[in-house]
Amino acid sequence: MKVKVKFFASLTEVFGDREREVELGEGARIKDLLDALCDSSRCRQNVFDDSGKIKMRIQIMKNRMPIQSFDGISTRLEEGDVISIIPPMFAG
């Protein structure tokens, strides 16, 4: 299946894209998507902490809804889903 990923702010530079289509196996979850996306150490450093957990400060939305409303990083993905990944923004 294919899902669309939207990157925001500094992550557009980190991942080299504003949007990207990603091919995943059936039954894939958010954490599988992130693993597939992070194909370089720089990308991994921006998404995962030293212990391999997804950084809390990264905000992830599935179809504009926070993944906390589903199963967090275990949220299942479906064909055509749009996933947004936002780095911490500190403007005030």
Residues making contact with another protein (CB under 8 A):
6, 8-10, 55-57, 59, 61, 64-66, 68-69, 84, 86-92
Kindly tell me the burial class for residue 57, based on how many C-beta atoms sit within 10 Å of its own C-beta (0-12, 13-18, 19 or more): exposed
Beta bridge partners of 48: 54
Between residues 28 and 85, which has the closer beta carbon with respect to another protein?
85
Q: How many CB atoms lie within 10 A of CB 28?
A: 19
Between residues 2 and 57, which has the closer beta carbon with respect to another protein?
57
Sheet holding 65-66, edge to edge: 19-23, 2-7, 82-86, 59-62, 65-66
Between residues 66 and 80, which has the closer beta carbon with respect to another protein?
66
For the CB of residue 43, give the shortest distance to another protein in the complex, in Å: 14
For the CB of residue 26, give the shortest distance to another protein in the complex, in Å: 26
For the CB of residue 28, give the shortest distance to another protein in the complex, in Å: 22
